């Protein structure tokens, strides 16, 4: 199997869309990610996978904390901004939650401290201990076969 075939196969797994946020030296950074999962209830742990060459990789290591913002279907533009699909500068308003920047109006915001990190191939798996969370009703932004989808 080649890289393209592997990527195509992985694209067959429908996922939600998140933006991972953190703050370093007073500057907020974000990255769109769909490699996210819950890990444990006791303690409450989640996992994100971040490419070793991604800017966010070293920022999370420095901050030792991050937030996971699970996006609603109305937040497609937010996903595109943090995926680098929208190049022009956009003003994104962040809110502080447990000392971590979050994106307002997300379906879920999870404020996490880095609990552990594991190198896995060309990515690092950051396990976050959830300090607190916000939840609101709405429909999720979904991703399947390289495209945004609505769940109906």
Q: Is the pLDDT of residue 116 over 80?
A: yes
What is the residue-averaged pLDDT of the chain? 95
Q: Give the pLDDT score at 88.
A: 83
**Dihedral sign of CA atoms 77, 80, 82, 87 in order:** negative
More reliable by pLDDT, 83 or 91 = 83
Burial of residue 49 (CB within 10 Å: 0-12, 13-18, 19+) is middle
pLDDT digits (tens, 9 = 90+) for 19-73: 999 999 999 999 999 999 999 999 999 999 999 999 999 999 999 999 999 999 9
| Secondary structure (3-state) at 151 | coil
Q: Is the pLDDT of residue 90 over 90?
A: no
DSSP code of residue 81? H
Q: Give the pLDDT score at 87.
A: 81
**Dihedral sign of CA atoms 35, 88, 57, 105 in order:** negative
102: number of CA atoms within 13 Å, CB side?
Answer: 24
How many CB atoms are closer than 10 A to CB 108? 18
Q: Give the pLDDT score at 71.
A: 97
The tokens describing 79, both together, are 């996903």
d(CA 74, CA 93): 15
Q: Give the pLDDT score at 136.
A: 97
């Amino acid at each position: 199997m080649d890289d393209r075939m592997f990527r195509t196969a992985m694209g067959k797994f429908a996922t939600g869309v998140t933006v991972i946020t953190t703050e370093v030296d007073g500057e907020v950074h974000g990255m769109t990610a769909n490699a996210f999962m819950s890990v444990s209830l006791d303690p409450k742990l989640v996992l994100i996978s971040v490419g070793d060459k991604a800017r966010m990789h070293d920022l999370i290591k420095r901050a030792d904390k991050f937030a996971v913002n699970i996006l609603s279907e109305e937040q497609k533009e937010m996903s595109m901004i943090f995926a680098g699909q929208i190049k022009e500068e956009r003003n994104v308003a962040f809110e502080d939650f447990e000392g971590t920047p979050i994106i307002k109006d997300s379906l879920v915001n999870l404020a996490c401290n880095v609990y552990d990190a594991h190198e896995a191939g060309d990515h690092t798996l950051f396990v976050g201990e959830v300090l607190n969370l916000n939840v609101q009703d709405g429909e999720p932004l979904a991703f399947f076969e390289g495209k945004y989808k609505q769940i109906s």
